[in-house]
Amino acid sequence: MQQALGALIGVPATILVAGGLGLIGVTIFGRLFTRRDREPIRWAHVALGFLMFAVGALLVELEIVLFGAC
């Protein structure tokens, strides 16, 4: 039961961390290598990526505190 409850927190946390890092990476890559015919990704996407990463990291910490690191 403890592992199932840990997974309910851990899976979304992992998705948020990976999504946040991916969004940050794509935004920075898009800013560095832009083409003239396309509008670059806005810097607000970097902020959203950092927010997703931070929430995911906090959820991982919460899972470790509540259910252990096993």
Average pLDDT over residues 13-18: 94
- pLDDT at residue number 44: 87
* C-alpha to C-alpha distance for 5 and 1, rounded to whole angstroms: 6
* C-alpha to C-alpha distance for 19 and 37, rounded to whole angstroms: 27
pLDDT(18) > 90: yes
pLDDT(48) > 70: yes
- pLDDT at residue number 51: 95
- pLDDT at residue number 54: 96
pLDDT(32) > 90: no
- pLDDT at residue number 35: 75
* C-alpha to C-alpha distance for 56 and 48, rounded to whole angstroms: 12
